[in-house]
Every structure is written in structure tokens, then in C-alpha cells.
Amino acid sequence: MIPVQRLHGTYGRVTADFISQSSSAVPGAVDYVLHGSSVTFQHGQNLSFINVSIIDDDESEFEEPIEIMLIGATGGAVLGRHLVCRITIAKSDSPFGVVRFLNQSRVSVPNPNSTMILPLMLERTGGLLGEIQVNWEIVGPNSQEALPPQNRDIADPVSGSFSFGDGEGGVRSIILVIYPHDDIEIEKTFIIKLKLVRGEAQLDSTAKDVTLTIEKFGDPNGVIQFAPESLSEETYLEPSALEGPLIITFFVKRIKGISGEIMVYWELSSEFDITGDFLSTKGIFTIADGESEASFDVHLLPDDTPEIEEVYVLRLVSVKGGAKLDTENCVIRFSVSANDDPHGIFALYSDHQSILIGQNLRRFIQINVTRLAGTFGDVAVRYRISSDSKEQSVVTENAERQLVVRDGARCKVDSVPVQSQVCSVFSIFPVIPEDPFKKTLVNLMISLQSNLDI
Ligand SMILES: [Ca+2]
Ligand SMILES: [Ca+2]
Ligand SMILES: [Ca+2]
């Protein structure tokens, strides 16, 4: 755009005529195009433009100056003093011309329901010296191999040839006929390539091929879900240190399409403390092209930590490679039953027990029940104090008593008034955990009996 100014008055509609001249550059479709031969100013307008297009090409050899000159004015205006504008074409045109696609270099189309026509346009432009022949071919899908004429995606012809005579430019078209999709189809990429086989024109390096992507149809890469055998909520036992990690295998299926290798990401979480429970709480596994089944392992580790039953959520979180997750069946739960005596093991240590004498000389046995291992929940402990002296009862009141060791507490102290002078042996009765820990009752009783420390 070359600006032309209208100085002084702007009354009425006027025009200014112009021409171009150049010692080497050729007007028309070769080096540049001068649009029109006059520039118009409407009433009140003081600025207008001359439009010059430079023909673009790859070569950069000669600079070519062009002069644009105002040569006359109409409508009452007169020419001023600055009438010549010089521009320089930095690049010179290839004398043989340039061949290029006019389409976008990347074209993406939905996989059609019915036959689809896709025209591609190419042109020879610039210099038109000599005959040239340009061939085209398609490579793909998703490879650099030439597309065979018989294929399921694009109708024959899948290659061809164009000739341009000496001095002949212009546009040619390639008509691609794209077949409708199959039941399911992966995304396919083809490249339509130009190749100069005769003559000396240049292929425009930025527009000598078109990458055509036909989008996938359906779920060619599949939908990922846990296999039915892994959907039920299982309960596992924490392994002992001797056994080592327990390997739990989960099965996964790929339904619908089975095309392409895909990567599936999984993750374990829990509202309980998951620290140290598993070798890893996340991972990746792959399903090979054509495969519909896979499995992955979760390693449940042994530990000495007392734990109540913990529920874990195992989730397939994402997939790479075009597949989708079945949102209905990508989360499962499993649990590990209570372990390492979560509610505790109860013991009496003789050096923690004592006889107290109150102000009124009443005597008390101060009982200190120690809770080892876990401290989950309130646990009621029943005990009985008896003496090796058979003749008289030691305890004033009930023979059997109960104390409650609270959730989190490691011991509980109770005082029992006594009558007798001698009380040398304590014995303690089973622990009776309160609901909801009935299940562990037996364990606790056994533990307790075998852990009595008198
Ligand atoms: Ca845990
Ligand atoms: Ca654990
Ligand atoms: Ca444990």
C-alpha cells in the first residue's frame, strides 16, 4: 500500500492516475501486480492508497526496483511535487515458477457417514518458463508407505500427475473421495505429497504437501474397565513380615475397540492412613495393540502397626492412547482386615500395682491395667481380685469388677477397697470389648490370657 496525499482543499471527488515502471521487474502476474491505474479521493478525503502486490517466491537473487509515478489528476486537483515512489522487490521470482498447494497444510475432517469429496487445489505461479510435470501421491495411513489404490479409506486414484506447458500457470485440483467410516475406526493421517518430475519449477517448501487427518469413529482404542472378577469387594489379610508383601492382582478389560497401545494410570486412596501399607499407591500399565485384557499388581506390605479394618479405593484415573475409561466400572474397593491387635493387649505388671492406705486407714488396691499394641476404641476390661488365702475374701464388694480403657489410652487405673491384710496374687479375667468390636473379642481374650503378667 503506497499512500497518496491530497493536500490543501478536499472539495469534491478527484482522482490521480499512476503508472509503474521498472528496468527488470515485470508487471502482471510475474513479479508484481499494480492494482488499477488511478486512485480516488471522495469529497473530504485527503488520504488514499495505491495497491501493489509483490509475487512471493523462494529465491532471493536480484533486487528489482519499481517506480510508481503519478501522471495526472482529474476533478480539478493538480499534481504536487512528490510524484514518484520507489519500491524494491528484494526477492526475484523463479523464472520457472513455484508450485504449491492452495489448501491449508493441515486439514482435519470428521470420519464421514457417507462418501465425502475433498478437493485439494494446487497452482503454478511466478515464472512460467518451460514445461513442468508435477506428480502427487498419498502416503499413509499413519505411515510413510504409499497408500495402495485398493484401501478402505480413500478411493482410487490415490496418485496422479499434472503437466503445465511453457508459459502455463494456474490452478489444478485433486479430488479426493473419502469413503464412509467402518463400525469403528482409528484416527488416520495421510500426507498428500507433490513431487516435481520434469522441468525446473520449485516446490514451495511450506506448501508442498497437505496432511489430512480423518478423525476416529466410535471407540477404536477401546473403553477400559475393571474385569468382572475384580469388581467384587474383597478383604485381605495383612501379610506377616515372614511372608513378605502380598501381591494382589487386578484384572482390567478393554472393550469395544482394541486398536493401538494404550497406557492406563491407576491410583490407590483411602480415608484411613495408607502410609506404609503398599509398595506403591499409583502406577501405570500398558495394553498392547490388539490386546483386550491386562492386569496389574498392588503390593500389600507387612507392618507392625496395629490397624483396624481399612478400606481402600482403587481407581483407574486416566488413559493415554485414545481409549476412554468406563466411568461406571473404573473404581473398586477392597479392604484389609484389622491386624496387629488394634484394640490392644491388656496386661498387669506387678510393679505397677500397689496397696494404698487412705486417711481413715482403709486400704485400697490400686490396679493399673496396661494396654499394649493398638489403642483403637473404648474397651471394657473385667477383672477379679482373688487371694491365695482361701479362708477369707479379699475384696469388700463385688468379686468381679470392670473398668473401661478409653480410645487412645495406654492404661487405666482403678482403686478397689480391700478387707484382708494379705493380698499376694492377682488374677485377671478376660477383656470384653464393647460393640462394635465383637469380632475381635476372641482374639483379645486369647491375647489377654496369654499375656497376663501377674
Ligand atoms: Ca494403614
Ligand atoms: Ca498396614
Ligand atoms: Ca499392620
Q: What is the CATH number of the domain that holds 443?
A: 2.60.40
Ligand 2 centroid distance, CA of 273 (Å): 9
Number of domains in the chain: 4
Domain boundary among 31, 60, 89: 89
Looking up residue 44, the CATH number of its domain turns out to be 2.60.40.2030
Assess whether 166 and 238 both reside in one domain: no
Ligand number with the minimum distance to the CA of 304: 3
Assess whether 146 and 195 both reside in one domain: yes
Q: Omega into 65 within 30° of 0, i.e. cis?
A: no
Ligand 1 centroid distance, CA of 301 (Å): 10
Ligand number with the minimum distance to the CA of 306: 3
In degrees, to the nearest 5, what angle opens at C-alpha 83 toward C-alphas 79 and 86? 165
The closest of 193, 2, 172 to 102, measured between CA atoms, is 172
The sign of the CA dihedral 15, 17, 18, 19 is positive
The closest of 70, 58, 67, 59 to 100, measured between CA atoms, is 58
pTM, to two decimals: 0.57
Q: What is the pLDDT of residue 24?
A: 72
Question: pLDDT per residue over 389-447, tens digit each?
Answer: 554 555 544 467 788 889 999 999 988 777 655 444 444 444 444 443 332 332 223 22
Ligand 3 centroid distance, CA of 301 (Å): 9
Cell of 405: 480403657
Determine the Cα–Cα distance for residues 61 and 305; give it in Å rounded to an integer. Answer: 81
Pairing of strands 98-101, 202-203: parallel
Range of the domain at 365: 345-450
Ligand 2 centroid distance, CA of 364 (Å): 42
Determine the Cα–Cα distance for residues 30 and 83; give it in Å rounded to an integer. Answer: 25
Assess whether 102 and 209 both reside in one domain: yes
Higher per-residue confidence, 125 vs 428: 125
- Residue 158 φ then ψ, to 5°: -110, 15
Ligand 3 centroid distance, CA of 268 (Å): 17
pLDDT (average), residues 216-227:
94
Assess whether 79 and 112 both reside in one domain: no
Ligand 3 centroid distance, CA of 240 (Å): 9
Ligand 2 centroid distance, CA of 423 (Å): 43
Domain boundary among 277, 304, 336: 336
Is pLDDT at 213 greater than 80 in this prediction? yes
Assess whether 132 and 37 both reside in one domain: no
Ligand number with the minimum distance to the CA of 339: 3
Cβ-based neighbours of 434, under 8 Å, separated by 6 or more:
377, 378, 379, 380, 404
Ligand number with the minimum distance to the CA of 275: 1
Is pLDDT at 387 greater than 70 in this prediction? no
Pairing of strands 209-214, 188-198: antiparallel
Ligand 2 centroid distance, CA of 170 (Å): 76
Assess whether 190 and 267 both reside in one domain: no
Ligand 2 centroid distance, CA of 304 (Å): 8
Domain boundary among 293, 309, 336: 336
Ligand 2 centroid distance, CA of 94 (Å): 76
Ligand 3 centroid distance, CA of 305 (Å): 4
Q: What is the pLDDT of residue 420?
A: 52
pLDDT tier for residue 76 given thresholds of 50, 70 and 90? confident
Determine the Cα–Cα distance for residues 150 and 146; give it in Å rounded to an integer. Answer: 11
Question: pLDDT per residue over 320-365, tens digit each?
Answer: 998 999 999 999 999 999 999 888 888 777 778 777 777 777 777 7
Is pLDDT at 114 greater than 70 in this prediction? yes
Higher per-residue confidence, 423 vs 86: 86
Q: What is the pLDDT of residue 449?
A: 31
Assess whether 249 and 327 both reside in one domain: yes
Cell numbers 517448501 correspond to 205
Assess whether 229 and 332 both reside in one domain: yes
Ligand number with the minimum distance to the CA of 273: 1
Neighbours of ion ligand 3 (CB under 5 A): 238, 303, 305, 307, 339-340
- Residue 228 φ then ψ, to 5°: -50, -40
Ligand number with the minimum distance to the CA of 300: 2
Could you list the beta-strand ranges (E) of 140-184. 159-164, 170-178
